[in-house]
Homo-oligomer: A and B are copies of this chain.
Amino acid sequence: MSDTSRILCPVLSQRIMSAEEAAELIPAGAKVGMSGFTGAGYPKAVPGALAERIRRLNAENSTPFRISVWTGASTAPELDGVLAEVDGIEMRLPFQSDPICRNRINNGTMDYVDYHLSEVSQYAWSGFLGKMDIALIEVAGIREDGSLIPSSSIGNNKTWIEQADKIILEVNSKQNAKLEGMHDVYYGTALPPNRKPIMLTDPADRIGEQYMVCPPEKVIAVVETAAPDRNSPFKPSDDTSKRIAGHILDFFNREIEMGRLPKELLPIQSGVGNIPNAVLEGLDAGPYKDLTAFTEVIQDGMLKMLKSGTLKVASATAFSLSPDGIKEFDDNIDFYRDKIILRQQDISNHPELARRLGVIAMNGLIECDLYGNVNSTHIMGTRMMNGIGGSGDFARNGYLSIFVSPSTAKDGAISAIVPMVSHVDHTEHDVKIIVTEQGLADLRGLSPRQRAHEIINNCAHPDFRPALIDYYERALHSGRGMHTPHLLEEALSWHRRYEETGHM
């Protein structure tokens, strides 16, 4: 599968080896910075070869061989899955969505640290996480001077390449060669006290380089691959998603009418999944034109919006497309090339930029309580789902924070609106809008008691509404504080009831 036209640097072409040979260069206990963000641009071959090596060595030795894995965000079965399966990951950060990985996190055999995605590179630069040993990075090509053409995500790659002593590159010939030039890698970063303003004032601005700098002397292996990114089929919007999208679109229209949003809205940040895609479809069907996106991930809906002119530019750190989306993108890359900019995640998610641009942040929630506290990560307070991702970066610092979910889960057994959330990722101070298929709660300017009315009446499922009102009323008259009324002895009883009976 050699495609040496992708490796133009003479020095680095001498370091081409097999994935198995490269995996031998990763020692036990290593902190490895890997590429990969929402299933795009992760290394496809070396993690599998390393997992095989770990399986072999662990069968022979009593001292387990494990590494720490730092990525951009979630990867794929070929990375998180295979390494978790052989119990090869000691510590994982900052986001994952792999079922085997998740299982290890929740059965206590893997340590997982759940960071805001904007902050990971700062953590690494600062030395707070210890020294990174090896960077394992997928690229679309290596140029003559050794600089790198990023592939379908950038994530933390710039930082990993800077921080690691040794670098292993995977050159993936399945990545579209025309990705070249779509990236914007910003080299103005620094640790304080040497930081400067980031001179980006529009999602379309380019402030960096098209390529990643990579000192050839640090590269210990180059592995050629030809494998597609993980991608999931695009599911057509269901009725619930469409109703949620409808409430959001009504809200945007009202805000525009009231002069609180421009008619081009403000740069959109959108989580991945059915509901966000339904919102994007709704925007695309509406009267909107020349919108912009300043987000983490380019999903199918954004391609359609770019095609129709609803969206004029999308800035992100990664793609997350369906097979159909990938085909559309590959077939029409010349159209998309100048309308999509991929940045490193410490820029795509930067608090400075989210605040300045005034991002409209739309993210999913697992549960929300009467007072607007949102849980994005934990099932029943103890089990990690995926991670906070960039939701905190955008919700805290953006202009509008919108959290969405169907009002129930598990066929109606679970209410997304609960008396008290079992874990808090977004505090009452950061949550402006809650939306379910039932309706939209606009929490701006409301005290906790006022929020409770808005959330129960507009967002809770009718099956759970009476119980929520009952809890709230009894809390209000319990003799405890009436700023945030709670019955501490019952506050988490809905979760316990679910654990005990399978129904909240």
Q: Which residues of A contact B (CB under 8 A)?
A: 91, 105-108, 111-116, 122-123, 126-130, 191-193, 195-199, 201-202, 258-260, 262, 264, 266-267, 350-352, 355-358, 373, 378-384, 388, 392, 396-397, 399, 422-430, 432, 444-447, 449-450, 475-476, 480-486, 488-489, 491-492, 495-496, 499
Contacts and interface: CB of A to CB of B under 8 A. Distances in A.
A361 to B, nearest CB: 13
A79 to B, nearest CB: 19
Instruction: Tell me whether chain A's interface is mostly helix, strand or loop, or mixed.
Output: loop
Nearest 6 A-B pairs (CB), nearest first? A192-B358, A383-B481, A382-B481, A108-B482, A424-B424, A111-B447
A425 B192 CA distance: 26
A191 B260 CA distance: 10
Given A192-B358, A351-B355, A399-B192, A488 B495 contact: yes
A446 B127 CA distance: 14
Contact of A378 (B91, B383, B445, B484): B484
B193 A429 contact: no
Contacts of A384: 481, 483-484
A486 B445 contact: no
A122 B195 CA distance: 25
B195 A197 contact: no
A267 to B, nearest CB: 8
Contacts of A111: 446-447, 449-450
Nearest to A94: B429
B201 A199 contact: no
A331 B299 CA distance: 63
B485 A382 contact: yes
A116 B197 contact: no
Contact of A492 (B112, B397, B492): B492
Contacts of A105: 483
Contacts of A482: 106-108, 382
Given A358-B193, A358-B195, A428 B488 contact: no
B262 A193 contact: yes
Contact of A499 (B91, B266, B480): B480
B492 A496 contact: no
Contacts of A262: 193
Nearest to A495: B488
A108 B449 contact: yes
Contacts of A130: 445
A71 to B, nearest CB: 15
A427 B429 contact: no
B108 A484 contact: no
B488 A422 contact: yes
A502 to B, nearest CB: 15
Given A266-B192, A496-B488, A480 B383 contact: yes
B492 A488 contact: yes
Contacts of A115: 429
Contact of A496 (B107, B351, B489): B489
Contacts of A499: 480, 488
Contact of A399 (B116, B126, B196): B126
A193 B359 CA distance: 9
Contacts of A475: 382
Contact of A483 (B199, B202, B383, B483): B383
Given A482-B106, A491-B492, A114 B352 contact: no
13 contacts: A91-B447, A113-B445, A113-B446, A128-B432, A193-B202, A195-B356, A197-B201, A197-B356, A378-B481, A382-B482, A382-B485, A382-B488, A426-B427
Contact of A358 (B114, B191, B197, B480): B191
Given A128-B445, A195-B357, A196-B201, 15 more contacts: A106-B482, A111-B450, A114-B428, A123-B444, A126-B260, A192-B357, A197-B352, A352-B356, A381-B488, A382-B485, A382-B486, A384-B484, A425-B429, A488-B496, A489-B492
Contacts of A197: 197-199, 201, 352, 356
Nearest to A350: B355
A260 B108 contact: no
B399 A106 contact: no
Contacts of A258: 127
B424 A382 contact: no
A135 to B, nearest CB: 18
A424 B434 CA distance: 18
